[in-house]
Structure 1
Amino acid sequence: MTGELGMPNRWPRGRWAWVAGLGVAALLVLTVMDLSQHYYVSLGAVLALAMARALSLGLAWLRPRAALVVSLATTAITAAVTTPVSTDEPWPWGTTAAFGQSFVLAIVGARGLGRRELVGWWAATQVVGLVATVLAPDRGGWAGLVAMAVMSAIAVVVGDLIHSRSETNRQLAKQENISRTERAERSRLQERARIARELHDVVAHHLSVVVVRADSAPHRLPDMRDDVRAEFADIADAARASLTEMRQVLRLLREPVEHPPLGELGPQPGLDQVAELVASTRRAGADVRLEAEVPTGLDPAVELTAYRVVQEALSNAVRHAPGSVVRVDVQRVGDALEVKVTNGMAREAVPAGQESGHGLVGMRERVALVEGTVNAGPTPEGGYLVAVSIPIGTEVASGDHGAGG
């Protein structure tokens, strides 16, 4: 809990807790000895005043301003009920009273009491001694007031210096944390830029080559059948679409925003394009079947995630289970969008080098961003099932879809 000075109201910790406890106990014992030996006062009053003096020191960590009030009140009461046994004894500021008040001032100052207020309490300390001396000049002298003024002033300066040093250390630690965060952010952006360069230089280049070769194939091979020409045209269109999405990914990687909203960089595919995705995969030779009508008009982020899930699952099925029947089922079930992609047992040998990848890892990360779940694993028939459940957010008008995702 934050205290009245903007610092936690708590007892010191670690070894300082022992130091504080011993200090309070020592002040209690020394006050009893001081009052009982050097002043005329009853034993009950000695014990009460000693406990009040120790209490003021203990409150300095828990209730700073209350500690100052208790300390000054204890001094005033002590001056009123005690009489020195000789003129050599300090009064109204006895030895333990002077040290107790000075320690309280130093601790409160170290905890962050403002300088003006701290000076005000120092002045109040002098006023208490001055009033007591004026009211009972026969019990003490002005020398004791001067000594207390100097001692309490030193306490004020020490407390303020300790607070200033602590505040400086806190600011340095804060700046170091900011610098560490900035260095980590700079490293992250540099790594994203490096990945973007690699994607541009390698993947985008090869996709461009595919587009050029597919487009030029009918001109380079004039005796090509019409169905082959259509196949090359589909390959070129698919490669161009991949290039477009690749450029969006590259812009995303270079964007210095912590979490850009999905779709911020331009139109993204949604559920209304799942049928076309299935059809294009079927044209590539795979036996893909769309089991039900795909819902639309959902949150763009949900639709984009579902589309990417179907895209990755189809890609995995085609690579790892060639020749099998692949079933795609995208339905709304209650407050969730259920996506299931199931393939049967592979009827052809898996080409070398296609046995593993990172598709499922990326799929899980993407679905987790929209608080969805992914379950993937073999089926009893020897095939493979990818099942994804995504909570549905606010629906949007179908005419607004495609502006984001």
Structure 2
Amino acid sequence: MSSRWPVGRAGIWAALGVGALLVLTSTDLGQHYQLPIGAAFALGVMRALALALVWLRPPWALPVSLATSVLTAIVCVPVSPDEAWPWPVTGVFGHSLVLAFSGARGATGLGVGGAWASSRWVLGGWWVVTQLVGVVGMALAPERGSWAGLLTMALLSAVAVVVADLVRSRADARQQLLEQEEISAAERAQRARWQERARIARELHDVVAHHLSVVVVRADSAPHRLTGLPADAREEFAGIAEDARASLTEMRRVLRLLRENPSSGRADSELGPQPGLADLEELIATTRRAGADVRLEVESSADLDPAVELTAYRVVQEAVSNAVRHAPGAVVEVRVRRIGGELIVSVVNGPVDAAVASGSGHGLIGMRERVGLLDGRLHAARTADGGYRVEAVLPAERGVE
């Protein structure tokens, strides 16, 4: 999280908000409370400073705002019973703004090791402390205000906490989506490297290994085909055959290394559980928290080969990611069902926004390749209403190669 003033229009709006809060607080305290104009201006500066610290020094914003509220309650005496106390109107709005912006930016306090603590529990704790300040103020000076006057701060600050938590959750969900897209891109790159290695292995097997085998056969058979060969010539052919066999053995070892997929779960690969259909709920929940309307229906996921589950998960991940990018605001329907010996995975979204539907197509290519490795089928096409449908049909029986 950055600790600097926002740039562009956001910076202008932030400056206007800080300036407006300074003017309104100074005017409010100077007119409606028994306070000299200098003291009112000083409290206005503190109130505006608390809002500015949300960007400049995030961990200090809420403490300074709450300290300003306490100091205001101590020195301000209402000119009439109609004036709010211990929370002046500008104090209610100013502190609620600081609470909302701090929570939305995850700057509600300092966590372990200096990391920002963006937990909703920390944000709720600040709300509780705020209300306790008002209760203590009323208990110490009940003649200045009324208990009912505390409700305004309680309600408005509660709204600020809820809004801040929603904004922060949405930002976290979007960040998780970006991370998932980066993972998908990394997997596509890794798959491309694996396919290139497999192509090289095929070339070596079909060309080089074949010719080496021919050399072995010809060298072994030369003494029988050619009569009258001297002993040293026979030994030379035997040596050639032996060297060719050794080269062929080394060639086969190289072919095994080239054909060994680093993501296949072998001892030299990265260890860790692969996602399956049971993880689709979390995947979809993350997408929903980003604001997308995604609906999931899984009818059967029992007794499936892990490779089938992983492929189904990746198809849903890529298709939903494409739908969120190319059809913002559209409903995305994900359905996984088993019919006989086949697992059918379908992802359908509403009309695609032509202005953003300009992807490279690598995601669809990657899905086709992944499904093809299991001898499955993938169909992707526009729907009649201008949306898009991706459907993968995978073998559901165990023992998938």
21, 33, 43: which one aligns with 1:39:
33
| Preserved CA contact (<8 Å) 1:192 1:254 | yes
Alignment match, 1:180: 185
Alignment match, 2:176: 171
138, 144, 150: which one aligns with 1:139:
144
Q: How does 1:11-26 map to 2 (within 5 A)?
A: 11-26=5-20
| Shift of residue 178, structure 1, vs aligned partner | 1.6
- Aligned letter for 1:76? V
> 1:191-217 CA deviation, whole Å, 9 max, x = no partner?
212221221122101110011112211
Q: Hey, what's the Cα distance between the residues in 2 that align with 1:221 and 1:149?
A: 105
| Shift of residue 61, structure 1, vs aligned partner | 3.5
Alignment match, 1:120: 125
1:50 aligns with 2:44: yes
TM-score (norm 1): 0.57
RMSD of aligned alpha carbons? 2.3
Q: Hey, what's the Cα distance between the residues in 2 that align with 1:89 and 1:225?
A: 122
Q: Hey, what's the Cα distance between the residues in 1 that align with 2:12 and 2:233?
A: 88
Q: Hey, what's the Cα distance between the residues in 2 that align with 1:248 and 1:11?
A: 60
1:93 aligns with 2:87: yes
Alignment match, 2:101: 107
- Aligned letter for 1:68? L
TM-score (norm 2): 0.58
> 1:291-313 CA deviation, whole Å, 9 max, x = no partner?
xxxxxxxxxxxxxxxxxxxxxxx
Deviates most, 228-237 or 17-26:
228-237
With over 3 angstroms needed to count, the CA separation of the structure-2 counterparts of 1:19 and 1:234, relative to structure 1, is farther
| Shift of residue 13, structure 1, vs aligned partner | 4.9
Deviates most, 207-216 or 121-130:
121-130
| Shift of residue 74, structure 1, vs aligned partner | 0.8
Q: Hey, what's the Cα distance between the residues in 2 that align with 1:197 and 1:204?
A: 10
55, 65, 71: which one aligns with 1:61:
55
Q: Hey, what's the Cα distance between the residues in 2 that align with 1:14 and 1:239?
A: 71
Greater Rg, structure 1 or structure 2?
A: 1
Alignment match, 1:265: none
Q: Hey, what's the Cα distance between the residues in 1 that align with 2:57 and 2:178?
A: 27
Q: Hey, what's the Cα distance between the residues in 2 that align with 1:35 and 1:166?
A: 37
| Shift of residue 142, structure 1, vs aligned partner | 3.0
- Aligned letter for 2:36? S
Q: How does 1:282-293 map to 2 (within 5 A)?
A: none
Q: Hey, what's the Cα distance between the residues in 2 that align with 1:41 and 1:212?
A: 108
163, 188, 192: which one aligns with 1:158:
163
With over 3 angstroms needed to count, the CA separation of the structure-2 counterparts of 1:253 and 1:14, relative to structure 1, is farther
| Shift of residue 127, structure 1, vs aligned partner | 1.9
1:239 aligns with 2:244: yes
Tell me the number of residue pairs that the alignment of Structure 1 and Structure 2 aligns.
252
| Shift of residue 14, structure 1, vs aligned partner | 4.9
> 1:224-245 CA deviation, whole Å, 9 max, x = no partner?
3445434433432332232122
Alignment match, 1:229: 234
Alignment match, 1:253: 258
| Shift of residue 221, structure 1, vs aligned partner | 0.6
| Preserved CA contact (<8 Å) 1:122 1:156 | yes
| Preserved CA contact (<8 Å) 1:218 1:224 | yes
| Preserved CA contact (<8 Å) 2:92 2:152 | no
Q: Hey, what's the Cα distance between the residues in 2 that align with 1:62 and 1:230?
A: 85
Secondary structure in structure 2 of the residue aligned to 1:84: coil
191, 201, 206: which one aligns with 2:206:
201
Secondary structure in structure 2 of the residue aligned to 1:83: coil
| Preserved CA contact (<8 Å) 2:3 2:58 | no
Alignment match, 2:393: none
- Aligned letter for 1:217? A
Q: Hey, what's the Cα distance between the residues in 2 that align with 1:213 and 1:15?
A: 80
Q: Hey, what's the Cα distance between the residues in 1 that align with 2:47 and 2:22?
A: 7
Q: How does 1:79-90 map to 2 (within 5 A)?
A: 79-90=73-84
Q: Hey, what's the Cα distance between the residues in 2 that align with 1:47 and 1:104?
A: 19
Q: Hey, what's the Cα distance between the residues in 2 that align with 1:10 and 1:143?
A: 39
| Shift of residue 253, structure 1, vs aligned partner | 0.5
* Unmatched runs of 5 consecutive residues or more in structure 1: 1-6, 259-405
Q: How does 1:294-313 map to 2 (within 5 A)?
A: none
| Preserved CA contact (<8 Å) 1:61 1:107 | no
Q: Hey, what's the Cα distance between the residues in 1 that align with 2:79 and 2:220?
A: 114
Secondary structure in structure 1 of the residue aligned to 2:261: coil
Deviates most, 94-103 or 133-142:
133-142
Q: Hey, what's the Cα distance between the residues in 1 that align with 2:8 and 2:176?
A: 23
* Unmatched runs of 5 consecutive residues or more in structure 2: 107-117, 264-401
Secondary structure in structure 1 of the residue aligned to 2:25: helix
1:28 aligns with 2:28: no
Q: Hey, what's the Cα distance between the residues in 1 that align with 2:15 and 2:260?
A: 56
Q: How does 1:355-374 map to 2 (within 5 A)?
A: none
With over 3 angstroms needed to count, the CA separation of the structure-2 counterparts of 1:14 and 1:191, relative to structure 1, is farther
Q: Hey, what's the Cα distance between the residues in 1 that align with 2:198 and 2:9?
A: 49
